[in-house]
Structure 1
Amino acid sequence: MNALISGEEGKRMGLSEAYHIGPAYLKSKATDILDAKGEIWEYRIEPILKEYCRGYNDTQKFLTACELAFLGLSKDE
């Protein structure tokens, strides 16, 4: 996901390496890794990325790509 943020797609959203998501966002009390990742995305990462990308076109497309990368899914799944 951080590769997307600092890559071409992220640059179109006004982002750079300074906007990488660090390990503090990844702490969770959930025992199931998929549940934990889903909750972390929904309640921590997605809101901050929405704020970072506010005002840019294709924000939802970028967020979807970041979500898939974070959850370890491909667009075909």
Structure 2
Amino acid sequence: ELGLNYPMGPFRLADFSGLDIGYYNRTDKYKQAGDPADLPPRALKIRVERGDLGRKTGRGFYDYSTDPPTPTQD
């Protein structure tokens, strides 16, 4: 998680910024370019559809109801 001296790993960073932001950014890019590589990953889509948007909802790739936050299992 702290490799290369980053303060947080990519999944915590996604949770911090909001999973919906990344999801809609990738969806919009796909709509514009039509490249399937731009589609959001399935794990991201599932979480956004379920309303697990990261820190702002208390759950995303991590569950923030615990201290320290724990990775979610799905």
Which bin holds the TM-score, normalised by the shorter protein?
A: under 0.3
Please state which structure has a larger fraction of its residues in strand.
2
Structure 1-normalised TM-score?
0.27
Structure 2-normalised TM-score?
0.28
Higher relative contact order (CA 8 A, sep 6+): 1
Please state which structure has a larger fraction of its residues in helix.
1
